[in-house]
Structure 1
Amino acid sequence: MTEFDPDSEDAQPEGSLQALIGRIEGEIHELQFPGFSMDDALNLGLLLVELGKERSLPIAIDITKGEQVLFHVALPGATPDNEHWIRAKQRTAARYEVPSLLVGLRGRLRGGRIEDEGWFDQSRYAAHGGSIPVYVTGVGAVATVTVSGLPQVQDHDLVVEAMREVLRSAGADGAP
Protein backbone atom coordinates (compact mmCIF):
# COMPACT_ATOMS: atom_id res chain seq x y z
CA MET A 1 0.00 0.00 0.00
CA THR A 2 1.24 3.48 -0.83
CA GLU A 3 1.82 5.49 2.35
CA PHE A 4 -0.46 8.44 3.06
CA ASP A 5 1.11 11.76 2.07
CA PRO A 6 -0.20 14.62 4.22
CA ASP A 7 1.36 17.14 1.83
CA SER A 8 -0.57 15.87 -1.19
CA GLU A 9 -3.87 17.31 -2.42
CA ASP A 10 -4.44 14.18 -4.56
CA ALA A 11 -6.82 11.35 -3.69
CA GLN A 12 -5.04 8.78 -1.54
CA PRO A 13 -5.43 5.02 -1.27
CA GLU A 14 -8.20 3.75 1.01
CA GLY A 15 -6.77 2.86 4.41
CA SER A 16 -3.45 4.65 3.87
CA LEU A 17 -4.21 7.32 6.51
CA GLN A 18 -5.08 4.67 9.09
CA ALA A 19 -1.97 2.66 8.15
CA LEU A 20 0.31 5.68 8.70
CA ILE A 21 -1.38 6.42 12.03
CA GLY A 22 -0.84 2.79 13.03
CA ARG A 23 2.84 2.96 12.06
CA ILE A 24 3.39 6.08 14.18
CA GLU A 25 1.50 4.62 17.15
CA GLY A 26 3.80 1.59 16.88
CA GLU A 27 6.85 3.87 16.90
CA ILE A 28 5.62 5.44 20.15
CA HIS A 29 5.64 2.00 21.80
CA GLU A 30 9.00 1.08 20.24
CA LEU A 31 10.92 4.28 21.02
CA GLN A 32 11.02 4.07 24.81
CA PHE A 33 14.23 5.23 26.47
CA PRO A 34 15.45 3.87 29.83
CA GLY A 35 16.37 7.47 30.78
CA PHE A 36 17.24 10.71 29.01
CA SER A 37 20.16 12.84 30.18
CA MET A 38 21.85 15.91 28.73
CA ASP A 39 24.52 13.57 27.36
CA ASP A 40 21.80 11.53 25.65
CA ALA A 41 20.41 14.74 24.12
CA LEU A 42 23.87 15.69 22.86
CA ASN A 43 24.48 12.24 21.37
CA LEU A 44 21.08 12.24 19.66
CA GLY A 45 21.59 15.78 18.35
CA LEU A 46 25.06 15.00 17.03
CA LEU A 47 23.75 11.88 15.29
CA LEU A 48 21.08 13.99 13.58
CA VAL A 49 23.78 16.46 12.52
CA GLU A 50 25.87 13.58 11.14
CA LEU A 51 22.91 12.18 9.18
CA GLY A 52 22.00 15.63 7.90
CA LYS A 53 25.53 16.44 6.77
CA GLU A 54 26.05 13.02 5.14
CA ARG A 55 22.84 13.54 3.14
CA SER A 56 23.27 17.31 2.56
CA LEU A 57 19.91 17.98 4.21
CA PRO A 58 18.88 21.64 4.70
CA ILE A 59 17.57 21.09 8.21
CA ALA A 60 17.42 22.66 11.63
CA ILE A 61 17.51 20.37 14.67
CA ASP A 62 16.25 21.01 18.19
CA ILE A 63 16.03 19.01 21.40
CA THR A 64 14.09 20.70 24.19
CA LYS A 65 13.16 19.60 27.71
CA GLY A 66 10.41 21.78 29.13
CA GLU A 67 11.65 25.33 28.62
CA GLN A 68 15.32 24.29 28.37
CA VAL A 69 16.94 23.93 24.96
CA LEU A 70 19.37 21.02 25.21
CA PHE A 71 20.54 21.04 21.58
CA HIS A 72 19.92 23.36 18.64
CA VAL A 73 21.64 23.74 15.29
CA ALA A 74 20.91 24.81 11.72
CA LEU A 75 22.74 23.04 8.91
CA PRO A 76 23.60 24.67 5.57
CA GLY A 77 20.43 25.40 3.61
CA ALA A 78 18.19 25.78 6.67
CA THR A 79 16.36 29.10 6.78
CA PRO A 80 14.95 31.38 9.50
CA ASP A 81 11.52 29.89 8.68
CA ASN A 82 12.74 26.57 10.05
CA GLU A 83 13.04 28.20 13.49
CA HIS A 84 9.33 29.07 13.43
CA TRP A 85 8.41 25.54 12.34
CA ILE A 86 10.63 23.98 15.02
CA ARG A 87 8.96 25.95 17.80
CA ALA A 88 5.42 25.37 16.49
CA LYS A 89 5.92 21.61 15.97
CA GLN A 90 7.75 21.30 19.31
CA ARG A 91 4.88 23.01 21.14
CA THR A 92 2.41 20.60 19.51
CA ALA A 93 4.39 17.46 20.46
CA ALA A 94 4.89 18.75 24.01
CA ARG A 95 1.23 19.78 24.43
CA TYR A 96 -0.29 16.52 23.17
CA GLU A 97 2.63 14.23 24.18
CA VAL A 98 2.54 12.48 20.81
CA PRO A 99 4.45 13.16 17.58
CA SER A 100 3.32 16.36 15.86
CA LEU A 101 2.62 14.36 12.69
CA LEU A 102 0.19 12.13 14.59
CA VAL A 103 -1.76 15.18 15.84
CA GLY A 104 -2.30 16.31 12.25
CA LEU A 105 -3.15 12.84 10.97
CA ARG A 106 -5.69 12.18 13.70
CA GLY A 107 -7.35 15.48 12.80
CA ARG A 108 -7.78 14.22 9.24
CA LEU A 109 -9.73 11.17 10.42
CA ARG A 110 -12.72 13.48 10.79
CA GLY A 111 -12.41 14.49 7.15
CA GLY A 112 -10.63 17.83 7.50
CA ARG A 113 -7.49 19.30 8.92
CA ILE A 114 -6.94 20.29 12.54
CA GLU A 115 -5.63 23.62 11.25
CA ASP A 116 -9.15 24.41 9.98
CA GLU A 117 -10.59 24.19 13.51
CA GLY A 118 -11.12 27.61 15.07
CA TRP A 119 -9.62 26.55 18.41
CA PHE A 120 -6.28 25.43 16.87
CA ASP A 121 -3.89 28.39 17.19
CA GLN A 122 -1.63 28.19 14.14
CA SER A 123 0.46 31.10 15.40
CA ARG A 124 1.71 28.83 18.23
CA TYR A 125 1.20 25.24 17.06
CA ALA A 126 1.80 23.19 13.90
CA ALA A 127 0.33 19.74 13.36
CA HIS A 128 3.04 18.86 10.84
CA GLY A 129 5.56 16.07 11.13
CA GLY A 130 9.00 16.51 12.60
CA SER A 131 8.68 16.69 16.38
CA ILE A 132 8.62 13.56 18.51
CA PRO A 133 8.47 13.33 22.28
CA VAL A 134 11.24 11.45 24.04
CA TYR A 135 9.45 8.79 26.08
CA VAL A 136 11.13 7.37 29.16
CA THR A 137 9.81 3.97 30.23
CA GLY A 138 7.57 4.30 33.27
CA VAL A 139 7.70 8.11 33.14
CA GLY A 140 6.27 9.27 29.80
CA ALA A 141 7.26 12.20 27.62
CA VAL A 142 10.22 14.14 29.04
CA ALA A 143 11.55 16.12 26.05
CA THR A 144 11.03 16.66 22.32
CA VAL A 145 13.28 16.09 19.32
CA THR A 146 12.40 18.25 16.32
CA VAL A 147 13.66 18.49 12.74
CA SER A 148 12.52 21.06 10.19
CA GLY A 149 13.47 21.54 6.56
CA LEU A 150 12.14 18.50 4.70
CA PRO A 151 8.63 17.39 3.78
CA GLN A 152 6.88 16.57 7.05
CA VAL A 153 6.94 12.76 6.85
CA GLN A 154 10.66 12.90 6.01
CA ASP A 155 11.30 15.21 9.00
CA HIS A 156 9.44 12.68 11.20
CA ASP A 157 11.23 9.66 9.74
CA LEU A 158 14.68 11.23 10.23
CA VAL A 159 13.98 11.73 13.94
CA VAL A 160 12.70 8.14 14.23
CA GLU A 161 15.82 6.82 12.46
CA ALA A 162 18.13 8.68 14.85
CA MET A 163 16.16 7.66 17.95
CA ARG A 164 16.27 4.01 16.85
CA GLU A 165 20.03 4.21 16.34
CA VAL A 166 20.61 5.75 19.78
CA LEU A 167 18.45 3.08 21.41
CA ARG A 168 20.20 0.33 19.40
CA SER A 169 23.62 1.65 20.45
CA ALA A 170 22.57 1.85 24.10
CA GLY A 171 21.35 -1.76 23.93
CA ALA A 172 24.62 -2.87 22.33
CA ASP A 173 26.53 -1.16 25.15
CA GLY A 174 24.65 -3.26 27.70
CA ALA A 175 22.24 -0.54 28.83
CA PRO A 176 18.86 -1.76 30.07
Structure 2
Amino acid sequence: MTDLAAQIAALEAEHEALALDRFDVDVAWSIGSWLRQRAATETLPIAIQVALPGCPVFSALLPGASPDNLAWIERKRNVVERFWESSLLTTLRCEALGTTLTAKFRLDETRFVHSGGGVAVRLSALGGIAGSVIVSGLSQREDHALAVAAIEAEKGKQATRHNGV
Protein backbone atom coordinates (compact mmCIF):
# COMPACT_ATOMS: atom_id res chain seq x y z
CA MET A 1 0.00 0.00 0.00
CA THR A 2 1.35 3.42 -0.92
CA ASP A 3 1.72 6.18 1.62
CA LEU A 4 -1.12 8.10 -0.04
CA ALA A 5 -3.36 5.02 0.00
CA ALA A 6 -2.57 4.53 3.70
CA GLN A 7 -3.45 8.17 4.43
CA ILE A 8 -6.74 7.80 2.57
CA ALA A 9 -7.56 4.60 4.46
CA ALA A 10 -6.77 6.31 7.78
CA LEU A 11 -9.01 9.28 6.89
CA GLU A 12 -11.83 6.94 5.87
CA ALA A 13 -11.58 5.15 9.24
CA GLU A 14 -11.47 8.50 11.03
CA HIS A 15 -14.60 9.61 9.14
CA GLU A 16 -16.49 6.55 10.40
CA ALA A 17 -15.22 6.97 13.98
CA LEU A 18 -16.19 10.64 14.31
CA ALA A 19 -19.98 10.16 14.36
CA LEU A 20 -21.79 12.07 17.12
CA ASP A 21 -25.01 11.12 18.88
CA ARG A 22 -26.35 14.66 18.54
CA PHE A 23 -25.58 17.76 16.48
CA ASP A 24 -27.64 20.92 16.67
CA VAL A 25 -27.10 24.64 17.24
CA ASP A 26 -26.05 24.11 20.87
CA VAL A 27 -23.54 21.39 19.96
CA ALA A 28 -22.20 23.50 17.10
CA TRP A 29 -21.67 26.39 19.51
CA SER A 30 -19.95 24.07 22.00
CA ILE A 31 -17.55 22.77 19.33
CA GLY A 32 -16.83 26.30 18.10
CA SER A 33 -16.22 27.55 21.62
CA TRP A 34 -13.82 24.66 22.31
CA LEU A 35 -11.90 25.48 19.13
CA ARG A 36 -11.80 29.19 19.88
CA GLN A 37 -10.54 28.57 23.42
CA ARG A 38 -7.80 26.22 22.22
CA ALA A 39 -6.77 28.60 19.45
CA ALA A 40 -6.61 31.53 21.90
CA THR A 41 -4.61 29.48 24.43
CA GLU A 42 -2.12 28.36 21.76
CA THR A 43 -2.12 31.74 19.92
CA LEU A 44 -3.18 30.12 16.66
CA PRO A 45 -3.87 32.58 13.81
CA ILE A 46 -6.97 30.82 12.52
CA ALA A 47 -10.51 31.33 11.38
CA ILE A 48 -13.16 28.88 12.61
CA GLN A 49 -16.62 27.98 11.42
CA VAL A 50 -19.06 25.35 12.65
CA ALA A 51 -22.14 24.96 10.50
CA LEU A 52 -25.31 23.04 9.91
CA PRO A 53 -25.61 22.32 6.17
CA GLY A 54 -25.59 25.71 4.45
CA CYS A 55 -26.04 27.55 7.75
CA PRO A 56 -23.03 28.82 9.74
CA VAL A 57 -23.73 28.71 13.49
CA PHE A 58 -20.35 29.66 15.00
CA SER A 59 -17.70 31.79 13.34
CA ALA A 60 -14.55 33.34 14.75
CA LEU A 61 -11.49 35.10 13.38
CA LEU A 62 -8.56 35.04 15.78
CA PRO A 63 -5.65 37.50 15.82
CA GLY A 64 -3.27 36.82 12.95
CA ALA A 65 -5.94 35.34 10.70
CA SER A 66 -7.34 37.42 7.88
CA PRO A 67 -10.59 37.83 5.96
CA ASP A 68 -8.95 35.62 3.31
CA ASN A 69 -9.18 32.74 5.80
CA LEU A 70 -12.94 33.28 5.90
CA ALA A 71 -13.07 32.84 2.12
CA TRP A 72 -11.08 29.59 2.45
CA ILE A 73 -13.55 28.42 5.09
CA GLU A 74 -16.48 28.90 2.74
CA ARG A 75 -14.69 27.01 -0.04
CA LYS A 76 -13.76 24.13 2.34
CA ARG A 77 -17.35 23.95 3.63
CA ASN A 78 -18.61 23.69 0.06
CA VAL A 79 -16.35 20.64 -0.47
CA VAL A 80 -17.59 18.96 2.74
CA GLU A 81 -21.23 19.61 1.88
CA ARG A 82 -20.84 18.37 -1.70
CA PHE A 83 -18.85 15.19 -0.99
CA TRP A 84 -20.05 14.42 2.59
CA GLU A 85 -16.51 13.82 3.85
CA SER A 86 -13.53 15.87 4.97
CA SER A 87 -12.00 18.20 2.44
CA LEU A 88 -8.62 16.57 3.14
CA LEU A 89 -9.98 13.12 2.26
CA THR A 90 -11.52 14.45 -0.96
CA THR A 91 -8.27 16.26 -1.79
CA LEU A 92 -6.13 13.14 -1.25
CA ARG A 93 -8.52 10.97 -3.29
CA CYS A 94 -7.99 13.37 -6.20
CA GLU A 95 -4.22 13.48 -5.69
CA ALA A 96 -4.16 9.67 -5.81
CA LEU A 97 -5.67 10.01 -9.29
CA GLY A 98 -3.09 12.61 -10.29
CA THR A 99 -5.53 15.50 -10.42
CA THR A 100 -7.08 18.21 -8.30
CA LEU A 101 -10.57 18.43 -6.91
CA THR A 102 -11.50 21.39 -9.07
CA ALA A 103 -10.10 19.81 -12.24
CA LYS A 104 -11.62 16.35 -11.70
CA PHE A 105 -15.12 17.61 -10.98
CA ARG A 106 -14.93 20.83 -13.04
CA LEU A 107 -15.70 22.92 -10.00
CA ASP A 108 -15.39 26.67 -9.77
CA GLU A 109 -12.18 27.46 -7.85
CA THR A 110 -13.81 30.53 -6.34
CA ARG A 111 -16.37 28.24 -4.62
CA PHE A 112 -14.36 25.04 -3.94
CA VAL A 113 -10.80 24.51 -2.76
CA HIS A 114 -8.35 21.61 -3.12
CA SER A 115 -7.30 21.71 0.55
CA GLY A 116 -7.89 20.08 3.91
CA GLY A 117 -9.38 21.74 6.96
CA GLY A 118 -13.09 21.06 6.59
CA VAL A 119 -14.45 18.03 8.45
CA ALA A 120 -17.91 16.52 8.08
CA VAL A 121 -20.01 16.08 11.21
CA ARG A 122 -21.93 12.82 11.03
CA LEU A 123 -24.59 11.44 13.32
CA SER A 124 -24.43 7.84 14.56
CA ALA A 125 -28.01 7.15 13.45
CA LEU A 126 -28.01 9.11 10.19
CA GLY A 127 -26.54 8.68 6.75
CA GLY A 128 -25.00 11.74 5.15
CA ILE A 129 -23.78 14.67 7.19
CA ALA A 130 -25.32 16.86 9.84
CA GLY A 131 -22.85 19.72 9.52
CA SER A 132 -19.21 20.71 9.32
CA VAL A 133 -16.30 22.01 11.35
CA ILE A 134 -13.85 24.12 9.37
CA VAL A 135 -10.50 25.62 10.30
CA SER A 136 -8.27 27.84 8.14
CA GLY A 137 -4.94 29.50 8.83
CA LEU A 138 -2.47 26.67 9.42
CA SER A 139 -1.31 23.94 7.04
CA GLN A 140 -4.14 21.86 5.59
CA ARG A 141 -3.20 18.90 7.80
CA GLU A 142 -3.00 21.05 10.94
CA ASP A 143 -6.35 22.65 10.10
CA HIS A 144 -7.83 19.16 9.65
CA ALA A 145 -6.31 17.82 12.88
CA LEU A 146 -7.66 20.75 14.89
CA ALA A 147 -11.19 20.30 13.51
CA VAL A 148 -11.01 16.56 14.27
CA ALA A 149 -9.80 17.25 17.82
CA ALA A 150 -12.82 19.49 18.41
CA ILE A 151 -15.25 16.83 17.18
CA GLU A 152 -13.48 14.18 19.29
CA ALA A 153 -13.77 16.43 22.36
CA GLU A 154 -17.51 16.80 21.76
CA LYS A 155 -17.87 13.06 21.17
CA GLY A 156 -16.22 12.46 24.55
CA LYS A 157 -18.62 14.90 26.23
CA GLN A 158 -21.60 13.16 24.65
CA ALA A 159 -20.34 9.72 25.69
CA THR A 160 -19.90 10.95 29.28
CA ARG A 161 -23.45 12.35 29.35
CA HIS A 162 -24.82 9.18 27.73
CA ASN A 163 -23.14 7.00 30.35
CA GLY A 164 -24.58 9.13 33.14
CA VAL A 165 -21.22 10.37 34.37
TM-score range relative to shorter protein:
over 0.9
Partner of 1:103: 90
| Residues 90-120 of structure 1, C-alpha deviations (whole Å, 9 max, x = no match) | 0000011010111110001112323444712
Instruction: Write the distance in 2 (CA, Å) between the matches of 1:137 and 1:39.
Output: 18
User: Partners in 1 of 2:41 and 2:146 — Cα distance?
Assistant: 13
Q: Deviations along 1:114-154, whole A, 9 cap, x unmatched?
A: 34447122111012111111101221301111000000000
Return the letter of the residue paired with 1:122. E
Query: In structure 2, do the counterparts of structure 1 residues 138 and 147 end up closer, same or farther at CA, with 3 Å as the change threshold?
Result: same
User: Which protein is richer in helix relative to its size?
Assistant: 2
Letter of the 2:55 partner, please give it.
Q
Stretches of structure 1 that go unaligned for 5 or more consecutive residues are 1-13
Aligned to 2:149: 161
Q: What secondary structure does 1:69 align onto?
A: strand
For 1:119, give the aligned amino acid.
R
Q: For the Cα contact (< 8 Å) 2:24–2:52, is it kept in 1?
A: no
Shift of 1:51: 1.1
Question: 1:64 maps to which residue?
Answer: 51
Q: Secondary structure at the match of 1:77?
A: coil
Q: Give the TM-score, by structure 2 length.
A: 0.92
Shift of 1:26: 0.8
Q: CA RMSD in A?
A: 1.6
Aligned residues: 163
**Aligned: 1:44 with 2:46:** no
Secondary structure class of the residue paired with 2:122: strand
